[in-house]
């Protein structure tokens, strides 16, 4: 398949999306600051000034979040019996058993099962695409 081929989803100078993504919030804020003749450095200076003001309950917390952000929670590592070579239904059964035995938290088990389902969908899509391409080739259809 030629990736440089233009099709109905290719954007050109004349063909652009009706609803564009737009500017990020950071860009909008920086542009507003510039219109007010303020700078990003000035904002950080003000933040530090407010952080050390004992009457300001906002500034210190904001500065602390930027210096030492709260780490995002991650799922713990889980070790359980899993054979990746089994058929998907048997893999799902392994995950369900792990959840039933208390080895895997239910939300993590659900994530595993959804991942197995996603892999089935990907495999199915890939297989169908290959079959369609093979049929088109045998019929002499050229989609370039």
DSSP, residue by residue, 72-102: PP-PPP------TTS-HHHHHHHHHHHHHTT
With cut-offs at 50, 70 and 90, classify the pLDDT of residue 2.
very low
- If you average pLDDT over every residue of the chain, what do you get? 86
The answer to whether residue 20 scores a pLDDT higher than 80 is: no
pTM value is 0.49
Average pLDDT, integer, range 83-106: 93
Give 4's pLDDT tier (boundaries 50, 70, 90).
low
Which two three-digit tokens encode residue 128?
């169908």
Region 121-129 average pLDDT: 95
Nearest alpha-carbon partner for 47 in 35, 31, 33: 33
Q: What is the mean pLDDT of residues 68-82?
A: 84
Kindly report the number of other CB atoms within 10 A of residue 99's CB atom: 19
**Six-digit token string for 131:** 């079959």
> Mean of the pLDDT values across residues 53-76?
82
| Cα–Cα distance measured from residue 97 to residue 27, given in angstroms and rounded to the nearest whole number | 49
* pLDDT, average across residues 24-51: 88
Structure tokens at 78: 């889980």
Distance separating alpha carbons of residues 122 and 32, to the nearest angstrom = 45
Sign, Cα dihedral of 132, 138, 141, 143: positive
Evaluate whether 96 touches 105 at the Cβ level (below 8 Å). Answer: no
* Pair 103, 80: CB distance under 8 Å: yes
Residue extents of the structural domains in the chain: 25-67, 88-139
């Amino acid at each position: 398949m030629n990736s440089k081929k233009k099709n109905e989803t290719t954007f050109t100078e004349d063909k652009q999306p009706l609803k564009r993504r737009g500017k990020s919030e950071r860009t909008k804020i920086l542009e507003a600051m510039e219109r007010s003749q303020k700078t990003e450095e000035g904002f950080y200076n003000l933040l530090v000034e407010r952080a050390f003001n004992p009457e300001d309950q906002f500034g210190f917390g904001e500065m602390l979040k930027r210096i030492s952000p709260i780490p995002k929670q991650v799922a713990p590592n889980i070790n359980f019996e899993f054979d990746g070579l089994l058929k998907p239904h048997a893999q799902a059964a392994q995950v369900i058993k792990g959840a039933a035995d208390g080895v895997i938290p239910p939300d993590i088990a659900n994530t595993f099962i959804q991942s197995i389902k996603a892999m089935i969908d990907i495999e199915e899509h890939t297989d169908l695409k290959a079959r369609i391409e093979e049929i088109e080739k045998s019929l002499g259809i050229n989609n370039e």
